Amino acid sequence: MKSAFLLIGLAWLASAFPQGGPKRLRARQSTSPYPVYTFDQKLDHFPNSTRYEPHTNRTFKQHYYVDNTYYKQGGPVVCLMSGESSAAGYASIAFPSGLLKLFLQEFNGLGIVLENRYYGASYPFNTTTTDNLRFFTTEQVLADTAHFAQNVILPGYNASLQAPEYLWVLFGGSVPGGQVAFAMKEYGDVFWGGFASSGLTKGVLGYPEWYEPIQKFAPQDCTASLNGIIDKIDTVFANGNANQISHMKSIFGLETLHENGDFAQTIAYPLGGPFLYPGATWQEINWDPAVGYSDFFYFCHNITNPDSTKNITSLDYALAPYTNNEPWSNLGNYANYIKQYLIPTCDGVPVNNSACFLQHNQSYWADTTNSVRRSYLYTMCTEMGTYIAAHQDKPNLVSRVLTPEYTQQWCTWAFPPGKHNKIPPTPDLARYNVYGGSNISAPRLALIGGEQDVFRDVGFFAVDRGERYSLSVEDAYLHPQMLIESGGHVWDFEALNKGDVWEEGREPQFIREVHLWELRVMRRWIEMWEGRKGGWGSKRDEL
């Protein structure tokens, strides 16, 4: 069951999806027509930095996939950073359809999916002990990408396709979207352009804003029900009466989860969160029903169901004695959803087991077997944060017992001090924010965001950054930005391609216009590239 848990940004992907991946992929997954290649990557790009002592000259096999179906000489190399997803999984989705393919088709590009160190098949070590993880930092990942672009001999080609002599454009969404932005900032002399979709460019400790789009855009009878129930749950927690707390948990069938945080996180699973959850949530909604999931809305239908039977609605009064006899509106519906739809996903494993919903288990986190969960947690614990958290002073969809300490405990258990490496007491956010945070900007870095994206507030379009407009037509191509109206997480990646049969309702105009804009941006960049030696493009670079 635990392997079915979803990590952020995997929504669009196969790897960890409980239902077996985006719908479209399930039909396709059986064969992988793309051969895998490896590149001998330096493990340590910073031989002079005390951060990586003792240094090593070792290399590891960085895996990558290539699609040259549409390539013609002169077309751009478009390199997708696959982040926490396996490159194999990403290639099997991004090559056959979507925005990457659109770029390749339109501009005779050569597509690459490049795996991230410490994910997929690109682990430098057989286990991820704290010491083995010491080369797993954002700056090393960025250096990998630059070193790869400058040194790879692509199968069937020669060194003339290397950056920066050849035109390379980076591409990525979610965490890799952030990495694309950072790489344009750090290695703008290597990469000519970068498309960063829903990029996590800013590190924060706790990230309660993950729930803001839900609070703001979901049906308000649903959110208000949850806000009211959460307030009452937190009242019972604050009262500290063990019998009342146990009774409250039992309403949801979760009385054996003794750790309050585990209970709070479990009842939050239908909503999701910035790290782990087992199903499809707000993040997995997509404009295209072929890849999106509506589970979140079904959850809300359950919460607000006016037709529930008496034995369910009567539970609204079960805990009233603990809260001045006020009923807990829709508690019965909420508890019924957890019991009827969430707990059965454990397939009979007791909820108080780490193979189900028990997180409070040191040996579970201390297991050094390589895994997506472990590598991703390491990045959170060391640089990025974005821990699950509630607001302390506003209505909440999740309980206030979910403070950053809840996730920090997992960090401490998972990564005890090694001989050469230890994690900081809380994430060293400055390491992640050094590239500019939500102010990030670089020439030919295109930033794409979603108005209703759960990760909006840790990216360029963070609500607290206000609105930012392009200053001129030149600026609109040199610093392109697009906030997708009513868009969610990485909503531009799904795209209809040349030759697709048009289905009524697929690719609504607000999405189609994003893709047309992205194609115009890429076209301008190619023109700038062609004119860069004293031509039209180079002048624009000085703007």
Ligand X SMILES: *[C@@H]1O[C@H](CO)[C@@H](O)[C@H](O)[C@H]1NC(C)=O
Instruction: Give rounded-to-5 percent helix, strand, coil for the chain.
Output: 40, 10, 45
Q: Is 312 in the site for ligand X (CB under 6 A)?
A: yes
Among 32, 352, 441, 497, binds ligand X (CB under 6 A): 352
Give 325-371 as a DSSP string. T---TTHHHHHHHIIIIIGGGGTT--TTSTTTT----HHHHH--B--
Q: Is 414 in the site for ligand X (CB under 6 A)?
A: no
Instruction: Tell the smallest beta-carbon distance from residue 475 to ligand X (Å).
Output: 16
- What does the block give as tokens for 79? 């390199």
Q: Which residues pair with 65 in a beta bridge?
A: 36, 113
Of 227-256, binders to ligand X (CB under 6 A) are 256
Contacts of 186 by beta carbon, 8 Å cutoff, 6+ apart: 139, 142, 146, 435
Of 34-93, binders to ligand X (CB under 6 A) are 47-48, 55-57
Q: Which of 406, 475, 390 is nearest to 441 (CA)?
A: 475
Q: Is 353 in the site for ligand X (CB under 6 A)?
A: yes
Q: Is 468 in the site for ligand X (CB under 6 A)?
A: no
Q: Is 361 in the site for ligand X (CB under 6 A)?
A: yes
Q: Which is nearer to ligand X, 34 or 297 (CB)?
A: 297
d(CA 192, CA 535): 16
Instruction: Tell the smallest beta-carbon distance from residue 3 to ligand X (Å).
Output: 12
Q: Which is nearer to ligand X, 127 or 486 (CB)?
A: 127
Q: Is 220 in the site for ligand X (CB under 6 A)?
A: no
Q: Which is nearer to ligand X, 108 or 497 (CB)?
A: 108
Q: Which of 71, 61, 208 is nearest to 144 (CA)?
A: 61
Residues listed for the chain: 543
Instruction: Tell the smallest beta-carbon distance from residue 501 to ligand X (Å).
Output: 30
The H or E element containing residue 78 is strand 77-81
Q: Which is nearer to ligand X, 101 or 202 (CB)?
A: 202
Q: Is 363 in the site for ligand X (CB under 6 A)?
A: yes
Q: Can you tell me which residue has the tokens 């694309």?
A: 180
Q: Is 309 in the site for ligand X (CB under 6 A)?
A: yes
Q: Beta strand 59-67 with 110-114: parallel, antiparallel or unpaired? A: antiparallel
d(CA 232, CA 238): 10
Instruction: Tell the smallest beta-carbon distance from residue 193 to ligand X (Å).
Output: 23
Instruction: Tell the smallest beta-carbon distance from residue 436 to ligand X (Å).
Output: 6
Q: Which residues pair with 41 in a beta bridge?
A: 60
Part in contact with ligand X (CB under 6 A); list of ranges 167-175, 179-187, 351-359, 454-462: 351-359
d(CA 231, CA 50): 48
Q: Which is nearer to ligand X, 311 or 324 (CB)?
A: 311
Q: Is 272 in the site for ligand X (CB under 6 A)?
A: no
Q: Which is nearer to ligand X, 32 or 129 (CB)?
A: 129
- Please state the φ and ψ torsions of residue 193, each to the nearest 5 degrees: -155, 165
Instruction: Tell the smallest beta-carbon distance from residue 511 to ligand X (Å).
Output: 25
- Three-state SS annotation for 461-484: CCHHHCCCCCCCHHHHHHCCEEEE
Q: Can you tell me which residue has the tokens 């770029």?
A: 103
Q: Is 267 in the site for ligand X (CB under 6 A)?
A: no
Phi-psi region of 437 (alpha: psi -120 to 50; beta: other; left: phi over 0): left
Among 23, 28, 301, 468, binds ligand X (CB under 6 A): 301
Do residues 461 and 483 make contact, with C-beta atoms less than 8 angstroms apart?
yes
Instruction: Tell the smallest beta-carbon distance from residue 20 to ligand X (Å).
Output: 16
Number of residues lying near ligand X (CB under 6 A): 31
Q: Is 364 in the site for ligand X (CB under 6 A)?
A: yes
Encoded one letter per residue, x for contact with ligand X by CB under 6 A and - for no contact, window 422-461 reads ---------------x-x----------------------
Q: Is 298 in the site for ligand X (CB under 6 A)?
A: yes
Among 30, 31, 311, 324, binds ligand X (CB under 6 A): 311
Binding residues for ligand X, rule: CB under 6 A, are 47-48, 55-57, 125-126, 158, 160, 256, 295, 298, 301-302, 305, 309, 311-312, 336, 341, 350, 352-354, 358, 361, 363-364, 367, 437, 439
